[in-house]
A and B are shown apart, each in its own frame.
Chain A
Amino acid sequence: RKEVEQDPGPFNVPEGATVAFNCTYSNSASQSFFWYRQDCRKEPKLLMSVYSSGNEDGRFTAQLNRASQYISLLIRDSKLSDSATYLCVVNPYSGGYQKVTFGTGTKLQVIP
């Protein structure tokens, strides 16, 4: 089993739609979790951290389910500018060198 697995893409959704991505991780001791966004031919950038209680940032909501070992990202009212690849990132260590593991990404295309 891969350390981090993401929903296969691409997701093609109309503007205004709600879309959700899931990401599963294999190491039950993993400590911290993130969603990064990567635009085409650009570097990844942090979208949001994922907290145990779940967290929201505008139209974006991140959830963590430790029992089932997955994290999710929900995007409401999708905009054309949300089109990108979303990378799930898991840090298996508490402190230390922070060698995080990146998922392969889920591509989102928002259609007019």
Chain B
Amino acid sequence: NAGVTQTPKFRILKIGQSMTLQCAQDMNHNYMYWYRQDPGMGLKLIYYSVGAGITDKGEVPNGYNVSRSTTEDFPLRLELAAPSQTSVYFCASRGTYGSDEQYFGPGTRLTVT
């Protein structure tokens, strides 16, 4: 049971490039989330999903896109990277019933220069 996995761990992008951050969970959780965390700041919700085929915007969705074709995977797409997207990105998941605990992946550190 690997929990929530994210790839890559680190990435440097040039302005205007695109990339996909991968997230997968093996806990059969319906809820999945993408957050970004800037230095000294709290986590900001980018997008979330309540199940395969269903996604919705969070607080800071501009510049990002998501898809959820399976329960396990929730990739985050960055189009036309900008320096303002330099951040640490965390993916998280939560089960539908029982504990409210969100399980986080180890994060992806992204630098856009």
Contacts and interface: CB of A to CB of B under 8 A. Distances in A.
Contacts, number: 44
Interface string B34-73: 0100001111010010100000101000000000000000
Contacts of A91: 100
A85 to B, nearest CB: 10
Contacts of B99: 49
A44 interface: yes
Contact of B50 (A4, A97, A100, A103): A97
Interface residues of B, number: 21
B42 A43 contact: no
A1 interface: no
Interface residues on A, range: 10 to 19
A102 interface: yes
Contacts of A103: 42
A104 B50 contact: no
Contact of A99 (B42, B48, B90, B101): B48
Given A43-B107, A44-B90, A97-B50, A34 B45 contact: no
A46 B102 contact: yes
A110 interface: no
B107 A102 contact: no
B100 A49 contact: yes
B104 A43 contact: yes
A91 B94 CA distance: 13
Interface string B10-50: 00000000000000000000010001000011110100101
B105 A104 contact: no
Contacts of B48: 97, 99
Interface of B: 31, 35, 40-43, 45, 48, 50, 56, 58, 90, 94, 99-102, 104-107
12 contacts: A32-B100, A34-B100, A34-B101, A49-B101, A87-B42, A91-B100, A97-B50, A98-B94, A100-B102, A102-B43, A103-B42, A104-B42
